[in-house]
Structure 1
Amino acid sequence: MNLLSEFIKDYHEYKNYDDMVENYKLNIPANFNFSYDVIDRYAELAPEKRALVWCNDENEEKFFNFKEISRDSQRTAHFLTKHGIKKGDVVMLILRRRYEFWWLLPALHRIGAIAVPATNQLLKHDIVYRCNAAEIKMIISFDDGNVMKQIEEAMPESKSVKELISVKGSREGWIDFHKELDSLPEECNVFERPQGENATKNDDTMLMYFTSGTSGYPKMVLHDFTYPLGHIATAKFWQNVMDDGLHISVAETGWAKAVWGKIYGQWISGTAVFVYDMVSFAPDLFFKKIAHYKVTTFCAPPTAYRFLIRQDLSKYDLSNLKYCVTAGEAMNSEVYNKFLEKTGIKIYEGYGQTESAILAGTFPGMEVKPGSMGKSAPGYDVQIINHDGKKCQPLECGSIVINLKNGKPAGLLKGYYKNEEQTKKALSGEWYDTGDTAYYDDDGYIWFVGRNDDLIKSAGYRISPFEVESVLQQHPSVLECAVTGITDPKRGQAVKATIVLTKGYTAGKELEIELKTFATEHLALYKIPRLIEFVEELPKTISGKIRRVEIRQKDN
């Protein structure tokens, strides 16, 4: 069983994309709270229903049903209030993929505190910035000596932080989460839903994410308590999760992609979540886990698929795997075709942001066009508009925007923390501007072009870095690639490719000529890189996004 009919008006299995878009209408309860209205609801109706399957590289494994998740998150809420956490307080979670995340996040929702999921890749200065910008009151971390050291070194400059919590083992200056949790009395198995001024409301802040922008300081994105309902479309209608299935999204809990694919929409839709707490991504071991635990649906960025298709997939029993999706960047057709050839499974693409749920996608029943983000997701009216604010014609490049004329859709950000001007700019007009550019094809499919700042303007042409990168990445010598514009006296800008080579290839003039010739066979002449630079690595944000701005600054 699942709870879809409780949150979608007149819910039924939609015949096709048009039926879905026309009839999908969310039913948003007053004062919705995911912990009480989803987790506890399952604990009441189907207590033994599987919720979470967890394993790690040490061959540990744990299985949780909804009765257990409900009980453990309620005990965790008592633990947090014992240490002074109350409604509106801000708590940072640095947990990689530890199973305690699925207790702590719902526990914070129960209290009405604000969760700030963060990556374990943060360094001291990142932690100091986040603590002071968001007024973090508590940091909860997993047992990694380097991560804990970075946190400890940040504390003298992080005056708002009152407590440090470790979810595994004891360490001087840290509170042992499990030791205290285990010592709580049995009556702490129940945490009553707060009432009156302590009750959560739909427009209260529930989550805060620091975006890993490709320039400047990270923005602080706020999501309210209706945000989980926006991810019904993400899970049920894009990832196509199955009732009583097992879904994995390749994402560490510090990124918004984790709540896209590891809790909200998946649990509402009735599927269990599979979590592999890996230290690093090893394709062979990853596929063994998928086969062993009988994963049914799978989501990963295109980068992960590029590694996976190099495996001998015939070694693994993937008979339970029914559906695969990808997001994060547009998928190269070569990767799509190889995966389809090796598994018989199509990959359905999607598009969204830290500020949103799924905005556009290739949904079940739609024709797959590799590289296209598909069409508007149910609940969103996504359009591409030109400088005059009019809808673009096919092949006309414009800005990807969300129609706000009928109000803010569930899943879209509440605003930016302590930045009224930025919030007003984003949400007070008729459109929310994603900052990305794209175009329609003749069938109404949307094709990503790039960030507004990344577009290259050469001799009157607008060139998408992604398009050029996609072609170059088809050459076996190219492991990673970033395309940028460099100043050119004749063209205004010329195309430059910065390339990391695959092992076994040697940088040099001969390879440069080969790559330019290869590009000429697949691209219009004005898109061919005039300059190719070979490097050991590309500059990236903490989340792994290429910082093209850094390359541009160095070159220009």
Structure 2
Amino acid sequence: MKIFLTNKSFVAHFTPTLSSRFFSKHRRFYAPQNFSKFEEIKPFKPVVPEYFNFASDILDKWTENEKAGSRSSNPALWWMDGNGNEIKWGFEELGFHSRKVANLLSDGCNLAPGDRVIVILPRLPEWWLFNVACLRAGLVLIPGTTQLTAKDILHRLQTSEAKCIITTDELAADIDSISTQCPSLKSKVIVSRHKRDGWLDYNSLFQAADDKHTCVKTKSTDPMTIYYTSGTTGFPKMTEHSHCSYGLGLTVNGKYWLDLIPSDVFWNTSDTGWAKSAWSSVFAPWIQGSCVFVHSMPRFDPKTVLQTLSTFPITAFCSAPTAYRMLVLQDLSGYKLKNLKHCVSAGEPINPQVMEQWKQQTGLDIYEGYGQTETVLICGTFKGMKIKPGSMGKASPAFDVQIIDENGHIMPQGKEGDIAIRVSPDRPFCLFTQYTGDPEKTASTGRGQFYLTGDRGIQDEDGYFWFVGRSDDVILSSGYRIGPFEIESALIEHPAVAESAVVSSPDPIRGEVVKAFVVLAPGYEKQDPVTLTTELQEYVKEVTAPYKYPRKVEFVEHLPKTVSGKIRRNELRKKEWEKV
């Protein structure tokens, strides 16, 4: 496997980020190298230590380097709210505050190592403190988005048997309405300026908490976090990660894909309830000693994002394809992104047209990454690699990625199959542990020697992977297999289309046909829909195989999306098939 990178990841002054015991075993992997040209990178397979805790083995080591003056003066966390309020914490201050919060959880909430804690907070500095504090106290963190309903929270409390929940005023009443149905719930903590009956007040507990705390000695294999993944059918699943899977495994994200060093200021716009926030707002940048930049904006606003990128010294930026689509619709000529050097995208495939528009207007490429809540980076276009628009790049150093058939056999290059990760004879340590409480679902992800991602793809002759669609998104029409992404990419190249989602729709002759839901770009709303439908159909026939064109088109004001910005095609497909 060859993955090509620029010098930046290695030439920067080296500062060890792991405990000396772990580092001494893997010095060849972390040591600086001065490459004069692109070099092959070996697979990322360090020997995992028996004990590991991200707070003590990574963050506290950066604190030591900070005190010794061997790290830049960059903050560890730089938070702002757009109203002139800012917080800048170095690793030492982050450690001080997180130790107080760890004591708050252990003593104030009477929690013990292994207990589960649900944290539903917006982009407040406290969200990062609770993340680190749970690591220090050996608690299992369960993040959730602030868009959860009372029913959603009830499901999470009952299935996880969490003993504590932490949130703000916005969700407190919803939680009060269902908390009596959750016998495991022992404490509720509110992060607010106002106290609330039946809730522990965060501010009071924080002021009273001791700043001396000894980090719990956790095994690498101990549970660290649980993320609920929505999937396309059924109730959300509890995806469990160990201390090493994210705490060490996300090195491949920070060092290789994000290309971060301590002097970088990195902004990831993910919602705090999405695993991508753990990837890129906690573990990956802090493994590299970089600054995590945060804007508290409650919802994505393209003008705010562009103004922020122009004003602050942000060097690396990560956002979902939906966000980039919104950004390129703006007039970017009025914004000077003078500090921005590296842009990445993840969450779903990004359209080549959007990549081209961003490049034309900013001079910057977008490097795509592909992964799941269950994994770290699976594939990526790494800095220095040739970008093939529409491809999600090559296999990550962490995994042996293959395209396999229904019998678990590796498919020839150029043939479509299931995207899979080899787990036998050795299961990668940076893969999720299990779907908690659901051994049947956990077992269903295996096929022979491989873990199934649930996605379909193709590997080309150069080793690049191409996303076709979710296994249950693929459309079978008149014997043809059609992936929705290719049609969506074709549609978005048309100036009338702002966004699109493609799903199967029932048809009495062909069984199912391609249907496109289209959000029109400004200025096209008043055009005749029949004429515009024909125009879009003919356009798709010109830019892709004619049999793939959408035989049905419906114009909508917006598309249903998850909190992370992914289009919920399953919701659209379900409505189509319920009409039968």
Q: Does 1:218 align with 2:240?
A: no
Once the two structures are TM-superposed, the CA of residue 427 in structure 1 deviates from its matched residue by 5.5
Post-superposition Cα deviations, 1:293-327, rounded to whole Å, max 9, x if no partner, equal 20011111111111112233332331211111111
Q: Does 1:319 align with 2:338?
A: yes
For residue 4 of structure 2, what is the aligned residue in structure 1? none
CA contact (8 A) 1:384 1:399 kept: yes
Instruction: Find the aligned partners of 1:287 and 1:304 in 2 and give their Cα distance.
Output: 11
Instruction: Find the aligned partners of 1:131 and 1:449 in 2 and give their Cα distance.
Output: 36
Instruction: Find the aligned partners of 1:25 and 1:421 in 2 and give their Cα distance.
Output: 28
Which amino acid in the other structure matches residue 106 of structure 2? T
Which amino acid in the other structure matches residue 79 of structure 2? W
Which amino acid in the other structure matches residue 253 of structure 1? T
Instruction: Find the aligned partners of 1:123 and 1:470 in 2 and give their Cα distance.
Output: 33
Post-superposition Cα deviations, 1:14-65, rounded to whole Å, max 9, x if no partner, equal 8577621x26442433211001111111222223662110001332100000
CA contact (8 A) 1:3 1:270 kept: no
For residue 212 of structure 2, what is the aligned residue in structure 1? 190
CA contact (8 A) 1:9 1:25 kept: no
For residue 372 of structure 1, what is the aligned residue in structure 2? 391
Once the two structures are TM-superposed, the CA of residue 284 in structure 1 deviates from its matched residue by 1.7
For residue 66 of structure 2, what is the aligned residue in structure 1? 46
Q: Structure 1: give runs of 5+ residues left out of the alignment.
A: none
CA contact (8 A) 1:9 1:26 kept: no
Instruction: Find the aligned partners of 2:134 and 2:522 in 1 and give their Cα distance.
Output: 46
CA contact (8 A) 1:40 1:66 kept: yes
Instruction: Find the aligned partners of 1:122 and 1:156 in 2 and give their Cα distance.
Output: 18
For residue 99 of structure 2, what is the aligned residue in structure 1? 74
Once the two structures are TM-superposed, the CA of residue 497 in structure 1 deviates from its matched residue by 1.1
For residue 339 of structure 1, what is the aligned residue in structure 2? 358
For residue 136 of structure 1, what is the aligned residue in structure 2? 162
Which amino acid in the other structure matches residue 189 of structure 2? I
Q: Does 1:171 align with 2:198?
A: no
Instruction: Find the aligned partners of 2:129 and 2:446 in 1 and give their Cα distance.
Output: 32
CA contact (8 A) 2:17 2:62 kept: no
Instruction: Find the aligned partners of 2:394 and 2:255 in 1 and give their Cα distance.
Output: 16
For residue 550 of structure 2, what is the aligned residue in structure 1? 529
Instruction: Find the aligned partners of 1:281 and 1:193 in 2 and give their Cα distance.
Output: 36
Instruction: Find the aligned partners of 2:471 and 2:185 in 1 and give their Cα distance.
Output: 37
2:512 aligned counterpart, secondary structure: strand
1:405 aligned counterpart, secondary structure: coil
| CA spacing shift, 1:163–1:58, aligned 2, 3 Å | farther
CA contact (8 A) 2:223 2:243 kept: yes
Instruction: Find the aligned partners of 1:546 and 1:39 in 2 and give their Cα distance.
Output: 35
Which amino acid in the other structure matches residue 518 of structure 1? Y
2:59 aligned counterpart, secondary structure: helix
CA contact (8 A) 1:92 1:115 kept: yes
Once the two structures are TM-superposed, the CA of residue 442 in structure 1 deviates from its matched residue by 2.3
Instruction: Find the aligned partners of 2:451 and 2:218 in 1 and give their Cα distance.
Output: 26
The root-mean-square deviation of aligned C-alpha atoms, in Å, is: 2.0
After TM superposition, the structure 1 stretch with the greater mean CA deviation from structure 2, 59-68 or 405-414, is 405-414
Once the two structures are TM-superposed, the CA of residue 413 in structure 1 deviates from its matched residue by 0.3
Instruction: Find the aligned partners of 1:166 and 1:238 in 2 and give their Cα distance.
Output: 37
Instruction: Find the aligned partners of 2:500 and 2:322 in 1 and give their Cα distance.
Output: 12
| CA spacing shift, 1:263–1:14, aligned 2, 3 Å | farther
Instruction: Find the aligned partners of 2:565 and 2:358 in 1 and give their Cα distance.
Output: 23
For residue 293 of structure 1, what is the aligned residue in structure 2? 312
After TM superposition, the structure 1 stretch with the greater mean CA deviation from structure 2, 50-59 or 425-434, is 425-434
For residue 206 of structure 1, what is the aligned residue in structure 2? 224
Once the two structures are TM-superposed, the CA of residue 120 in structure 1 deviates from its matched residue by 0.2
Q: Structure 2: give runs of 5+ residues left out of the alignment.
A: 1-13, 68-72
Instruction: Find the aligned partners of 1:23 and 1:495 in 2 and give their Cα distance.
Output: 40
For residue 473 of structure 1, what is the aligned residue in structure 2? 492
Count of aligned pairs between the two proteins? 546
Instruction: Find the aligned partners of 1:34 and 1:256 in 2 and give their Cα distance.
Output: 17
Once the two structures are TM-superposed, the CA of residue 540 in structure 1 deviates from its matched residue by 3.6
After TM superposition, the structure 1 stretch with the greater mean CA deviation from structure 2, 442-451 or 155-164, is 155-164
1:44 aligned counterpart, secondary structure: helix
| CA spacing shift, 1:503–1:341, aligned 2, 3 Å | closer
| CA spacing shift, 1:25–1:552, aligned 2, 3 Å | closer
| CA spacing shift, 1:322–1:540, aligned 2, 3 Å | closer
CA contact (8 A) 1:297 1:323 kept: yes
Once the two structures are TM-superposed, the CA of residue 432 in structure 1 deviates from its matched residue by 0.5
Instruction: Find the aligned partners of 1:58 and 1:405 in 2 and give their Cα distance.
Output: 52
| CA spacing shift, 1:443–1:335, aligned 2, 3 Å | same
CA contact (8 A) 1:42 1:49 kept: no
For residue 516 of structure 2, what is the aligned residue in structure 1? 497
For residue 84 of structure 1, what is the aligned residue in structure 2? 110
Q: Does 1:547 align with 2:571?
A: no
Post-superposition Cα deviations, 1:470-527, rounded to whole Å, max 9, x if no partner, equal 1112222223222112233432321111222234313621111111111111121210
CA contact (8 A) 2:321 2:347 kept: yes
CA contact (8 A) 2:274 2:563 kept: no
For residue 460 of structure 1, what is the aligned residue in structure 2? 479
Which amino acid in the other structure matches residue 293 of structure 1? F
Instruction: Find the aligned partners of 1:428 and 1:2 in 2 and give their Cα distance.
Output: 41
Instruction: Find the aligned partners of 2:447 and 2:491 in 1 and give their Cα distance.
Output: 41
Instruction: Find the aligned partners of 1:260 and 1:306 in 2 and give their Cα distance.
Output: 22
Once the two structures are TM-superposed, the CA of residue 158 in structure 1 deviates from its matched residue by 2.6
Once the two structures are TM-superposed, the CA of residue 272 in structure 1 deviates from its matched residue by 0.8
1:262 aligned counterpart, secondary structure: helix
Post-superposition Cα deviations, 1:386-421, rounded to whole Å, max 9, x if no partner, equal 224232223210000001124222321010111122
1:46 aligned counterpart, secondary structure: helix
| CA spacing shift, 1:330–1:400, aligned 2, 3 Å | same
For residue 273 of structure 1, what is the aligned residue in structure 2? 292
Equivalent of residue 102 in structure 1, options 119, 125, 128: 128
| CA spacing shift, 1:428–1:309, aligned 2, 3 Å | closer
Once the two structures are TM-superposed, the CA of residue 277 in structure 1 deviates from its matched residue by 0.8
CA contact (8 A) 1:9 1:24 kept: no
CA contact (8 A) 2:240 2:434 kept: yes
| CA spacing shift, 1:543–1:281, aligned 2, 3 Å | closer
Which amino acid in the other structure matches residue 176 of structure 2? E
Once the two structures are TM-superposed, the CA of residue 163 in structure 1 deviates from its matched residue by 1.6
1:189 aligned counterpart, secondary structure: coil
Instruction: Find the aligned partners of 1:113 and 1:538 in 2 and give their Cα distance.
Output: 37
| CA spacing shift, 1:543–1:403, aligned 2, 3 Å | same
| CA spacing shift, 1:417–1:53, aligned 2, 3 Å | same
Instruction: Find the aligned partners of 1:18 and 1:32 in 2 and give their Cα distance.
Output: 30
After TM superposition, the structure 1 stretch with the greater mean CA deviation from structure 2, 472-481 or 525-534, is 472-481
Once the two structures are TM-superposed, the CA of residue 13 in structure 1 deviates from its matched residue by 4.1
CA contact (8 A) 1:385 1:401 kept: yes
1:337 aligned counterpart, secondary structure: helix
Once the two structures are TM-superposed, the CA of residue 244 in structure 1 deviates from its matched residue by 1.8
Equivalent of residue 450 in structure 2, options 431, 434, 445: 431
CA contact (8 A) 2:353 2:492 kept: no
Once the two structures are TM-superposed, the CA of residue 122 in structure 1 deviates from its matched residue by 0.3
Instruction: Find the aligned partners of 2:167 and 2:324 in 1 and give their Cα distance.
Output: 29
| CA spacing shift, 1:449–1:23, aligned 2, 3 Å | closer
For residue 2 of structure 1, what is the aligned residue in structure 2? 15
| CA spacing shift, 1:289–1:113, aligned 2, 3 Å | same
1:115 aligned counterpart, secondary structure: strand
Q: Does 1:509 align with 2:530?
A: yes
For residue 83 of structure 2, what is the aligned residue in structure 1? 58
CA contact (8 A) 1:249 1:300 kept: yes
CA contact (8 A) 1:57 1:279 kept: no
